[in-house]
């Protein structure tokens, strides 16, 4: 059996770093992971503490979308410098809501993205089918305002587990958020109070690739340090792999340090609604590519606005390696007819960390080598990914070029 410890959750780390920066006392954030996205948030919270207006947010959508409303709530000028595709990714309707509540922002498409003025309390309206990061950013900012505020969610909130994670981290820093039938109510005048330290829990999103490797490989993979009862939505990968027919065993403390072991089995196609778990789609797709029958991945339209057009990237890479994969009729998902193995060949990461990881893991079920270009994209979230892949003995059919 192959065993690996989960790296800290990137999603939880973003939130903890920002909450700690807003607290009056110091808090040690325990998060030992190499990630360009986390480095971007660290740089921005350092700028808050030093009084700088320069926000080097890199390619991190979380950093930009969280820090914009926070700077507005602080009444501070911020100059955000996005890199890569981030400058092209949407920030509406957060952009319009910040302007409607007292802030001035630079014209859309202009770099740097600047914000000035003081955010006002009141009612904010966010459609549920756009990025949940807008909601999380407002939830972190609005408690700092003098008056009470509300966030009305129009329609169903997708990726709601990421908002639950935000609220969970805020609770550790003494902030109360009230759920309402239509959204959230946020009491103004609250103060962030720091715990002595905050240890970031294990990351389900990146660990999902190792668990999938156990399902499609030749021997079990055990991932330690995961909280089975975490509010991270991507813990659903355990149930999804069971849907495919894999053997999944969870042992240990389900709240703190559980171990999750996935063993190979005869996999069968299934149907997955990805509207709440968009980051798992590359993992689901690679598993489906070598599962018998047809897998349908639905509700994944928002993937077109990730680091790459991720629906297209997944389809292009897996098809190039020999998978039978097409867009769904609605265009918001994928239809995959599984094969015993793929042929292999050349794959490009599209400068997308999750696409690079997908290609690397599926190489174990390819007849010929997978020659991966753009592998450095993994440093966005997991700098040591390829070292860990090698330590697990899963890189034998992979060549990085």
pTM of this structure = 0.92
Strand partners for 271: 296
Average pLDDT score over the chain? 95
pLDDT over 80 at 223, yes or no: yes
Provide, rounded to the nearest whole percent, the portion of the chain with pLDDT above 90. Answer: 90
Q: Could you tell me if residue 219 is left (phi over 0), alpha (psi between -120 and 50 degrees) or otherwise beta?
A: beta
Q: Are 86 and 57 in contact (CB under 8 A)?
A: yes
Check residues 254 and 288 and name the one with the higher pLDDT: 288
Per-residue pLDDT at 32? 82
Q: Using CA atoms, how far apart are residues 57 and 72, in angstroms rounded to an integer?
A: 16
Identify the structural domains of the chain with CATH numbers, from first to last.
Answer: 9-199 (3.65.10.10), 204-210+230-241+269-400 (3.65.10.10)
DSSP SS3 for 149: strand
Average pLDDT over residues 370-379: 98
Give yes or no: 324 in active site.
no
Please list, in sequence order, all residues whose beta carbon lies within 8 angstroms of the beta carbon of residue 37, skipping any fewer than 6 positions away. 10, 14, 58, 59, 60, 62, 63, 380, 381
Which of the following is catalytic: 37, 203, 234, 279?
279
Please list, in sequence order, all residues whose beta carbon lies within 8 angstroms of the beta carbon of residue 265, skipping any fewer than 6 positions away. 215, 245, 246, 247
For strand 113-117 and strand 123-127, is the pairing parallel, antiparallel, or unpaired? Answer: unpaired
Per-residue pLDDT at 5? 96
pLDDT over 80 at 234, yes or no: yes
DSSP SS3 for 72: helix
Check residues 238 and 302 and name the one with the higher pLDDT: 238
Per-residue pLDDT at 34? 86
Q: Omega before 93 cis (within 30°)?
A: yes
Q: Using CA atoms, how far apart are residues 338 and 334, in angstroms rounded to an integer?
A: 12
Per-residue pLDDT at 160? 94
Provide, rounded to the nearest whole percent, the portion of the chain with pLDDT above 70. Answer: 99
DSSP SS3 for 225: strand
Q: Look up tokens 């100059």; give the residue.
A: 79
Q: Look up tokens 């808090």; give the residue.
A: 27
Q: Using CA atoms, how far apart are residues 102 and 341, in angstroms rounded to an integer?
A: 57
Give the pair of three-digit tokens for residue 336: 């995959």
Per-residue pLDDT at 26? 86
Average pLDDT over residues 56-72: 97
pLDDT over 70 at 255, yes or no: no
Q: Using CA atoms, how far apart are residues 314 and 301, in angstroms rounded to an integer?
A: 13
Average pLDDT over residues 232-237: 96
pLDDT over 80 at 256, yes or no: no
Radius of gyration of the chain (CA): 21
Per-residue pLDDT at 254? 66
If pLDDT is split at 50, 70 and 90, which confidence band does 88 have? Answer: confident
Per-residue pLDDT at 329? 85
Interval 315-369: pLDDT, tens: 999 999 999 999 998 889 999 999 999 999 999 999 999 999 999 999 999 999 9
Q: Which phi and psi (to 5°) does residue 183 adopt? A: 160, -120
Per-residue pLDDT at 21? 95
If pLDDT is split at 50, 70 and 90, which confidence band does 145 have? Answer: very high
């Amino acid at each position: 059996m192959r065993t690996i410890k989960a790296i800290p959750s990137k999603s939880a780390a973003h939130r903890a770093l920002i909450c700690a920066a807003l607290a009056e006392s110091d808090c040690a954030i325990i998060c030992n992971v190499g990630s360009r996205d986390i480095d971007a948030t660290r740089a921005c919270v350092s700028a808050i503490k030093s009084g700088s207006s320069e926000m080097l947010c890199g390619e991190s959508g979380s950093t930009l979308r969280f820090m914009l409303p926070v700077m507005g709530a602080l009444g501070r000028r911020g100059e955000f410098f996005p890199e890569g595709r981030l400058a092209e990714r949407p920030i509406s309707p957060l952009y319009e809501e910040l302007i409607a509540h007292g802030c001035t922002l630079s014209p859309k498409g202009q770099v740097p993205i600047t914000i000035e003025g003081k955010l006002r309390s009141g009612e904010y309206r966010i459609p549920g089918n756009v990025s949940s990061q807008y909601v999380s950013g407002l939830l972190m900012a609005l408690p700092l305002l003098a008056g009470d505020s509300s966030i009305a969610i129009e329609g169903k909130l997708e990726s709601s587990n990421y908002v639950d994670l935000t609220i969970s981290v805020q609770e550790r820093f003494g902030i109360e958020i009230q759920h309402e039938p239509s959204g959230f109510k946020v009491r103004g005048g609250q103060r962030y109070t720091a715990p002595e330290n905050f240890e970031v829990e294990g990351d389900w999103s990146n660990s999902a690739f190792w668990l999938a490797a156990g399902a499609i490989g030749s021997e079990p993979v055990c991932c330690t340090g995961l909280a089975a009862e975490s509010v991270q939505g991507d813990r659903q990968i355990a149930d999804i792999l069971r849907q495919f027919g894999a053997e999944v065993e969870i042992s240990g403390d389900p709240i703190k340090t559980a171990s999750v072991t996935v063993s190979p089995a005869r996999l069968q196609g299934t149907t997955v609604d990805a509207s709440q778990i968009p980051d798992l789609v590359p993992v689901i797709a690679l598993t489906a590519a070598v599962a018998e029958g047809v897998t349908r991945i639905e509700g994944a339209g928002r993937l077109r606005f990730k680091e790459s057009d991720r629906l297209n990237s997944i389809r292009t890479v897996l098809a190039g390696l020999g998978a039978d994969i097409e867009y769904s009729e609605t265009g918001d998902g994928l239809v995959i007819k599984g094969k015993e193995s793929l042929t292999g060949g050349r794959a490009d990461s599209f400068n997308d960390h999750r696409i690079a990881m997908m290609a690397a893991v599926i190489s174990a079920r390819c007849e010929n080598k997978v020659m991966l270009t753009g592998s450095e994209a993994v440093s966005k979230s997991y700098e040591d990914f390829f070292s860990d892949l090698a330590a697990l003995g899963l890189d034998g059919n992979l060549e990085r070029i």
